[in-house]
Structure 1
Amino acid sequence: MTVQQHAQTHDSRPATGDYETVIGLECHVQLATQSKMFCGCAADYAGAAPNTHVCPICLGMPGVLPVMNRVAVEYTLLTGLALSADIPEATKFDRKNYPYPDLVKGYQISQYDLPLVKGGSVEIASGPTTRRIHLERVHLEEDTGKLTHIPGGSLVDFNRSGVPLMEMVSMPEIRTPGEARGYLQKLRAILRTLGVSDADMEKGQLRCDVNVSLRPTGEARLGTKVEVKNLNSFRSVQRALEYEIQRQTETLDRGEPILQETRGWLEDKGVTVTQRSKEEAHDYRYFPEPDLPPVFVERAWLEQLRQRLPELPDARRTRYMQSFGLGAYDADALSTDLWAARLFEDTVSAGADPKKAANWIQNDVARLRVDSELVLKAEHLAELIRLVDEGAIGISAARQLLPPLIETGKAPLALVDELGLAQVSDSAALEDAVRGTIQANPSAVTDYRAGKATAINFLKGQVMKSTRGKANPAVAEELLRKLLA
């Protein structure tokens, strides 16, 4: 689908000319259902051999009939409720006709004039404030196969064909590439919180096309929009928009027209290239799907779904600030990451100070986290924070403990004894290390005695290094000052 209305917005940072930028996003979200949209084939095809999750229905064989996946419909309705959107009482499916090698039937079962969800909005950060980006529609369709291009031809894997796909079309209210990225990140957070999709862009579970146009500031007539595809990360979306805004600005400054077209993003070169002229909706020859009945959304069904709504990211963010005293940055970062949010709340429940727990999760834990499969017990993180607070270990030793804590699952105190990382606070025990540091760093000693205040921090750091982080920093500094007096 294309964005049907291209409303006026203002780019707060135009590239070079005095133009207004208008951006709209079309997001395709693979739903995390067990089976495909219109057949019983498994929807999770990750790691499967090509063309093994297929049947006559998703291969479009003559005479077969589709059966609607009710869970996919419920996931779409849940998304609509989370967006505070309008849910029509009746909807239907349509055939979208176009020839392409990855579309074995020659048409895609989608929705045209009666989507499951109309409207809705998400709140994003916009500089020091926030504002809402509205959606035009959310509709349900089936995914296509996957093409792999090789020298001399192309291969098609139909494992993906028929997987439930939710298309989310924004209104063109996004003003900058940074806002586009923020909008996508908020959408992903909502989808993951609902449990309707993992929404991983690198795995193709969240795919995004952007529509962007420019027009002279203050002019009523809309500019010609260009669609950009092949965007597989938040960074790609932002970079592609930045490039395309610059390209269109330079084109207009030369007095040349913008062509309505579809362009592809080349990540390695950082440019967009022409793919094809832009189709209009009538090119697809939509008509009602004759093999599926209309869908009626009963109000009782909708209320049952409403009761299933979890706490959403915006509400979680507010609670973290009000109940735990977190700042806006930490609250926003944690509330949009479901894994981090769960670890944070469990760690606080285990007795940790909320601000310290947030700091550990956002920094030290985040550096070790490759994906959401990282296993760290909340009670262990809470104990680690407590050991630092009590002075049993230093912060450096605590950071050394974190990797084995995750890898072994052992309790922090046991690892402290096993690895010999207990904090040393006895001046007599530290004196040799401090004297050795003084002897090994004569220039820093000279700087300190000459009144250079930062020299003491360097020397203290060397003591910490020589003791593998076990020295109590306060005791080490006190001893340094005493011996250098």
Structure 2
Amino acid sequence: MTAPALIRGYEVVIGLETHAQLSTASKIFSGASTRFGAEPNTQACPVDLALPGTLPVINRGAVERAIRFGLAVGAKVAPLSIFARKNYFYPDLPKGYQISQYEIPVVQGGMVHFFVGDQAKTVHLTRAHLEEDAGKSMHEGLETPGCSGIDLNRAGTPLLEIVTEPDMRSAAEAVAYAKTLHGLVVWLGICDGNMQEGSFRCDANVSVRKPGAPYGTRREIKNLNSFRFLQMAIEAEVHWQIEQLEDGGKIQQATVLFDPNANGGRGATRMMRTKEDAHDYRYFPDPDLPPLVISPAWVDSVRAAMPELPGAMAERFVTADGLPEYDATMVTQSLAFARYYEAARDASQAPKLVANWLMGEVSKRLNAEDRDIADAPVAPATLAALIGRVQDGTVSNNAAKQVFDALWTGEGRDVDAIIEAKGLKQMNDTGALEKIVDEVIAANAKSVEEYKSGKDKAFNALVGQVMKASKGKANPAQAGELLKARLA
């Protein structure tokens, strides 16, 4: 196992708590709608408002989604779990407590496997528990300046809070885990994953220590709703903690917020409050909710309805398609990505080439434009057609990238038409290519001599000259063969 990279002699320790909003039509303890974007306080019923005499009733669909997640990560689904009251006072918490789970959560343990670069990683989960969301305090856009408003539409929205062990050792690792988890909950259909709407948000617990020392004091960065902000916030917090320690200070356990606009856009964390411990919340079992009993038959019925999981699909791609494990993992990063791969693979019968394009040019474009594969302007069949033209020698790899750019930007939709319009066909006239090879050999006597003396780089330079002379239209493999034949 590779030792974690140190930052100025310190090891970074990270654990994540992720709130995934479950994809039920109604709230976890009431029948009120969970639809996003409604006018403030139009989706808060008497149960959500905690009016006297109301009682919560658990949403079966929320429990089934928790079971589905537990099965997907290889966790124990508790046959009996308890709902508790987490007591704290805040304006957007109508009851003065949040219904959550504490000592006995519904999902216990589990693992998430992913890659950071080409290195395989595993993060162990502590738990995943059901809870209700709070409302939202509104400080801007109100008719009365200097006032705040309370929108209770989110109050009671069902959440699955997924808590990791402190297994991650870099911001990049935390982001890779979060992206994998995001892909998994969307794949399972338990969460829509919309980070802009707050459906998937992370809290990062961050500390630093000298290698081999006990864990340092952690600070929790709250409500990170983008992968970019997650990375920036962790990096900023790590920098701050190391600065404090090197200046002789101590780290105080705290809850902090991330300001992405601070430090000239590099971001900074700022303390919101000192961090509460569990006893500060005075957890106790909710007397209005009986223990949640999940029978083996219920678990079996959920398991029977599960989709093929990313790990199983990746294994199938390794076995049936001959993909390397890394490639198979990358093309199963989301269900939409996997379906795109399958469609392009079936149309081209070239699984490795499809995987290469998806991990290369397609992913580069998607990341640069912050788009999902479902919104890619190049259809799987079109990508397959382009790959086919590389395979049959019509275009070189470099020319194919030019065609792909044209397809992506909408310059054209037909692969062959773009190839013709841009004059990108490879040279298939052997006689014309032989003439160019002879001219390159005659004009590059020094490189020829170096090649004959055993310098391979000189041969690559000669191939490059042939490509230049042919304006990129020569087939590099054919050019290389002709060069070797002439220089033998």
TM-score of the aligned structures, taking structure 1 as reference length: 0.80
Structure 2 partner of 1:248: 241
Q: Which amino acid aligns with 2:78?
A: P
| TM superposition shift of 1:216 | 4.7
Residue 63 (structure 2) pairs with residue 69 (structure 1): no
Q: Is the 8 A contact 1:86 1:117 kept in 2?
A: yes
Between 60-69 and 293-302, the greater mean CA deviation after superposition? 60-69
Specify which of 5, 28, 35 is matched with residue 13 of structure 1. Answer: 5
Structure 1 partner of 2:306: 309
| TM superposition shift of 1:21 | 4.1
Structure 1 partner of 2:150: 156
The separation in 2 between residues aligned to 1:16 and 1:324, in whole angstroms, is 44
Q: Is the 8 A contact 1:263 1:272 kept in 2?
A: yes
| TM superposition shift of 1:301 | 0.6
User: Matched residue pairs, number?
Assistant: 458
Between 194-203 and 389-398, the greater mean CA deviation after superposition? 389-398
Secondary structure, counterpart of 2:273 in structure 1: strand
Specify which of 337, 340, 351 is matched with residue 340 of structure 1. Answer: 337
| TM superposition shift of 1:24 | 1.9
The separation in 1 between residues aligned to 2:172 and 2:424, in whole angstroms, is 44
Relative to structure 1, the CA distance from residue 40 to residue 471 in structure 2 (aligned partners, 3 Å threshold; closer, same or farther) is farther
Secondary structure, counterpart of 1:172 in structure 2: coil
Q: Is the 8 A contact 1:11 1:176 kept in 2?
A: no
- Deviation digits for residues 450-478 of structure 1, max 9, x if unmatched? 7598587478458658xxxx887789999
The separation in 2 between residues aligned to 1:288 and 1:396, in whole angstroms, is 64
Specify which of 169, 187, 192 is matched with residue 198 of structure 1. Answer: 192
Q: Which amino acid aligns with 1:146?
A: K
Structure 2 partner of 1:170: 164
TM-score of the aligned structures, taking structure 2 as reference length: 0.79
Structure 2 partner of 1:320: 317
Relative to structure 1, the CA distance from residue 35 to residue 375 in structure 2 (aligned partners, 3 Å threshold; closer, same or farther) is farther
Relative to structure 1, the CA distance from residue 44 to residue 464 in structure 2 (aligned partners, 3 Å threshold; closer, same or farther) is farther
Secondary structure, counterpart of 1:22 in structure 2: strand
| TM superposition shift of 1:107 | 2.1
- Deviation digits for residues 59-99 of structure 1, max 9, x if unmatched? 33333333322111111111111111111211232222222
Specify which of 275, 278, 288 is matched with residue 278 of structure 1. Answer: 275
The separation in 2 between residues aligned to 1:375 and 1:43, in whole angstroms, is 32
Secondary structure, counterpart of 2:4 in structure 1: coil
Specify which of 9, 20, 30 is matched with residue 29 of structure 1. Answer: 20
Spell out the pairing of 1:332-371 with structure 2 (5 A cutoff).
332-369=329-366, 370-371=371-372
Relative to structure 1, the CA distance from residue 120 to residue 419 in structure 2 (aligned partners, 3 Å threshold; closer, same or farther) is same
Specify which of 44, 62, 83 is matched with residue 54 of structure 1. Answer: 44
Unpaired stretches in structure 1, ≥5 consecutive residues: 1-9, 439-443, 480-485
Spell out the pairing of 1:208-287 with structure 2 (5 A cutoff).
208-219=202-213, 222-268=215-261, 269=263, 270-287=267-284
Q: Is the 8 A contact 2:467 2:474 kept in 1?
A: no
The separation in 1 between residues aligned to 2:465 and 2:146, in whole angstroms, is 63
Structure 2 partner of 1:41: 32
Relative to structure 1, the CA distance from residue 408 to residue 297 in structure 2 (aligned partners, 3 Å threshold; closer, same or farther) is farther
Relative to structure 1, the CA distance from residue 425 to residue 295 in structure 2 (aligned partners, 3 Å threshold; closer, same or farther) is same
Q: Is the 8 A contact 2:466 2:479 kept in 1?
A: no
Structure 2 partner of 1:288: 285
Specify which of 364, 372, 375 is matched with residue 373 of structure 1. Answer: 375
Unpaired stretches in structure 2, ≥5 consecutive residues: 448-457, 483-488
The separation in 1 between residues aligned to 2:442 and 2:47, in whole angstroms, is 82
The separation in 2 between residues aligned to 1:98 and 1:311, in whole angstroms, is 41
Relative to structure 1, the CA distance from residue 395 to residue 52 in structure 2 (aligned partners, 3 Å threshold; closer, same or farther) is farther
Relative to structure 1, the CA distance from residue 211 to residue 41 in structure 2 (aligned partners, 3 Å threshold; closer, same or farther) is same
Q: Which amino acid aligns with 1:380?
A: T
Percent of aligned pairs sharing the same letter: 42
Q: Is the 8 A contact 1:352 1:385 kept in 2?
A: no
Q: Is the 8 A contact 1:35 1:42 kept in 2?
A: yes
